Homo-oligomer: A and B are copies of this chain.
Amino acid sequence: MRVIVQKYGGSSVADLECMLKVRENVLKALDKGYRVVVVLSAIYGETDRLLSFARSWSKRPDSSELDVILSTGEQISVALFAMLLKDCGVKARSFLGFQIPIQTDRSFGKARILDIEHEHIRHMLKDYDVLVVAGFQGCDTENRITTLGRGGSDTSAVALAAVLDAELCEIYTDVQGVYTTDPNICSQARKLNKIAYDEMLEMASMGAKVLQIRSVEFAKKYNVPVHVRSTFSDNSGTYVVQEDKSMEAAMVSGIAYDKDQARITLVDVVDAPGTAAAIFEPIARANIVVDMIVQNPSREGGRTDMTFTVPKSSIEDSLNILKKVKDKIGARELLHDANVAKVTVIGVGMRNHSGVAAIAFSALKKENINIMIISTSEIKISCLIEEKYTELAVRTLHEAFGLGDQDVGLRKEEESPAITDQ
């Protein structure tokens, strides 16, 4: 049995017309001999509507009850779509999270998938040609409804593809695929035909919101080939797959950016083993995510400055915590700056190429963009800069690595996997 998983986001199921287009796609896959698992989001705007409705009743809606409400969005879209399939004679049925079941932990509002009971769903694939599964939702061990957080339907789709050994997980969306950078700020941005899981993780976490980050982690872990493509065009999109030789040939595959950064500095602290712990433990306890951290080389007298970034929304909470810490560790000053942004150069090819950092730094320098913090990994270089330079920095780096150029370093159309032909 050949299985394909197709996930459609909210804009792909916005109204009857859109859903009829989705039905055409599904019928095509049936014609090719696939059993199809369709994963749907809520109708466009419905989740926001439900959320603000709940908030009009309760200032801080209980998270477990909120999940009961939010899950109705997908519940309605899957039933509607199953109806449309049955209307044209397809053996189809809707499935809610608890009916599969998609077992999650009990972190309401941001639950993680623990397990999918695959025998049951495999059995259902014998009875039905199409299973229409509600994305974004699951249930905990007590059968309570949970939701997976924004973009959670991507993760539902990839997880189902993993347990079903699907040939492909198609993520249908309103863009053509994954781009070298944000086309809204860089007209040279170009669609990638292929991207490695690790690159996609960086792209996703850096604010390129095509795929929920957890879905990419899942895809990587279970080696699920993912195809991000447009619902409203037959063009091939971007394959998110395991790294291969052709990828390493390219130094850099994309430029991401993230404006949701704020910088905090504790000036003149003792450079001793306990200092970092004294700062970051209370921050972690408050569930504040620290991203970049830099500690200056120790000055005379063994003192240093500690600088790091947090999301802009966490700046007040962070400062409240650190005011107490400041006195305790004897820091001279507590500084902060919310007008910062992070630009990131990404590419698995970096591992084999030297000089990527040098190209990035000199390109930014040429535009007089000051780099406040640098953080690197095997496949990325991130620079914290003044927020107002974000767009300029992205365009500059995109240009410097020749990303807009069809024949420089990047994967060509012919190199997309054989699976495109199916």
Contacts and interface: CB of A to CB of B under 8 A. Distances in A.
A377 to B, nearest CB: 42
A93 B67 CA distance: 12
A144 B96 CA distance: 9
Given A62-B83, A68-B78, A57 B16 contact: yes
Interface residues of A, number: 35
Nearest to A86: B62
Nearest to A75: B72
A69 interface: yes
Contacts of A71: 75
A308 B79 CA distance: 40
Interface string A98-128: 1100000000000000000000000000000
Contacts of A72: 72, 75-76
A93 B63 CA distance: 12
B87 A65 contact: no
A399 to B, nearest CB: 48
Given A66-B79, A71-B75, 12 more contacts: A16-B56, A54-B83, A57-B84, A58-B80, A58-B83, A61-B83, A68-B75, A68-B78, A68-B96, A72-B72, A72-B76, A98-B143
Interface of A: 16, 19, 50, 54, 56-59, 61-62, 64-66, 68-69, 71-72, 75-76, 78-80, 82-84, 86-87, 93-94, 96, 98-99, 143-145
Instruction: Please list the 8 inter-chain residue pairs (A to B) with the smallest Cβ-Cβ separation, ordered nearest first.
Output: A68-B79, A72-B72, A65-B79, A58-B83, A69-B79, A65-B83, A62-B86, A65-B82
